């Protein structure tokens, strides 16, 4: 049983792409982040190069892949669901590579946290603490939803949906910076996020009398799956139904474009958004946990 790590996205997708596409909802973040890296380049999320890995339970080079991860600093590790054995082994591999080579020699980006399903996240955090002395703190708890039968808001607020264009870049930059302040979910160069979303026609605006009042974005469609994200309404315009309207519009557009699964994440600390998306027809799939690792004063040797 073995993990293979690489800095080559093509090698990663050749090895693990089929495994990830086989369960697109379960692997939604890995798939959409990889698609953005393919389209926008390895520096899409930051200057430090990403790192990837996959797990083969039987160690054979041609054996079936049973797990995968990617890391795009400054964001935490993103993991597929893993067995306890695979999770423990991943913690050991990451700790050994960092201890032996260090980040400066290009071994691995710093492991600052993990983002995955609750069980895998907690297992990795326990192993990481045992191996490195780092402690884990809960940064965010998310719930993954899948769209069932779409139920648009009734009554709908005034206005209409339209696709955002390059001319909307300054507005979206301002709004995404606001989203980053509100949620802490965007790191690094926010302008790159705007460019990436506009680059594949992935942003929808809700406008009233020609003035944009809310926005929502979608990821690239991968393996028939698309994920709604970056739903934002400026504070002074909230409470008028615009977020629900633009989310319904972007969801309907994704379905019309052929998406078989339309997903989104919510912050469990925000009951308003969780209730809204359920009214629109989104149904819970699973909970995810984002943990931040904080180094202790002493670091025990790798086992």
Residue 180: domain span: 149-280
Does residue 222 share a domain with residue 117?
no
Provide the 10 A C-beta neighbour count for residue 211.
Answer: 9
Name the phi and psi angles at 226, rounded to 5: -135, 150
User: For the chain, how many structural domains are there in total?
Assistant: 2
pLDDT computed for residue 55 by the predictor = 96
Q: Hey, is 32 helix, strand or coil?
A: helix
In a domain, 16, yes or no: yes
In a domain, 299, yes or no: no
Own/partner pairs for 208-212, CB < 8 Å, 24+ apart? 208/157, 208/158, 208/159, 208/242, 209/159, 212/168, 212/171
Does residue 127 share a domain with residue 24?
yes
246 near 205, Cβ under 8 Å?
yes
Does residue 199 share a domain with residue 133?
no
Does residue 132 share a domain with residue 207?
no
Name the phi and psi angles at 211, rounded to 5: -110, 125
Q: For the whole model, what pTM was predicted?
A: 0.91
Does residue 193 share a domain with residue 62?
no
- Per-residue pLDDT of the chain in tens (303 residues, 90 and over written 9): 599 999 999 999 999 999 999 999 999 999 999 999 999 999 999 888 999 999 998 866 678 999 999 999 889 999 999 999 999 999 999 888 766 655 444 455 678 899 999 999 999 999 999 998 999 999 999 999 999 999 999 999 999 999 999 999 999 999 999 999 999 888 888 999 999 999 999 999 999 999 999 999 999 999 999 999 999 999 999 999 999 999 999 999 999 999 999 999 999 999 999 999 999 999 999 999 999 998 653 333 333
Does residue 169 share a domain with residue 219?
yes
Does residue 182 share a domain with residue 67?
no
In a domain, 131, yes or no: yes
Does residue 27 share a domain with residue 47?
yes
In a domain, 193, yes or no: yes
Does residue 216 share a domain with residue 132?
no
Partners of 47 in the beta sheet? none
């Amino acid at each position: 049983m073995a993990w293979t790590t690489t800095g080559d996205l093509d090698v990663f997708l050749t090895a693990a792409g089929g495994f990830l596409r086989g369960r697109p909802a379960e692997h939604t973040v890995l798939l959409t982040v990889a698609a953005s890296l393919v389209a926008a380049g390895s520096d899409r999320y930051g200057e430090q190069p990403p790192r990837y890995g996959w797990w083969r339970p039987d160690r054979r080079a041609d054996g079936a892949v049973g797990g995968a991860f990617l890391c795009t600093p400054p964001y935490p590790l993103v993991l597929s669901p893993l067995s306890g054995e695979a999770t423990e082994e991943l913690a050991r591999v990451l700790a050994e590579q960092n201890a032996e080579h260090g980040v400066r020699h290009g071994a691995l980006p710093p492991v600052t946290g993990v983002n995955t399903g609750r069980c895998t996240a907690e297992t990795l955090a326990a192993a990481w603490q045992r191996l490195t002395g780092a402690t884990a703190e809960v940064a965010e708890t998310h719930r993954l939803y899948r769209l069932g039968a779409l139920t648009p808001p009734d009554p709908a607020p005034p206005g209409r949906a339209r696709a955002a264009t390059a001319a909307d870049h300054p507005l979206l930059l301002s709004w995404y910076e606001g989203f980053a302040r509100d949620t802490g979910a965007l790191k690094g160069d926010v302008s790159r996020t705007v460019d990436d979303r506009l680059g594949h026609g992935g942003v929808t605006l809700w406008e009233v009398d020609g003035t944009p009042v809310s926005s929502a974005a979608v990821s690239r469609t991968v393996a028939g799956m698309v994920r709604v994200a970056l739903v934002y309404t400026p504070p002074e315009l909230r409470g008028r139904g615009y977020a629900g309207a633009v989310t319904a519009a972007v969801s309907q557009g994704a379905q019309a474009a052929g998406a078989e699964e339309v997903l989104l994440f919510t912050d469990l600390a925000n009951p308003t958004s969780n209730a809204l998306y359920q009214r629109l027809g989104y149904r819970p799939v699973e909970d995810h946990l984002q943990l931040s690792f904080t180094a202790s004063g002493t670091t025990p040797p790798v086992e």
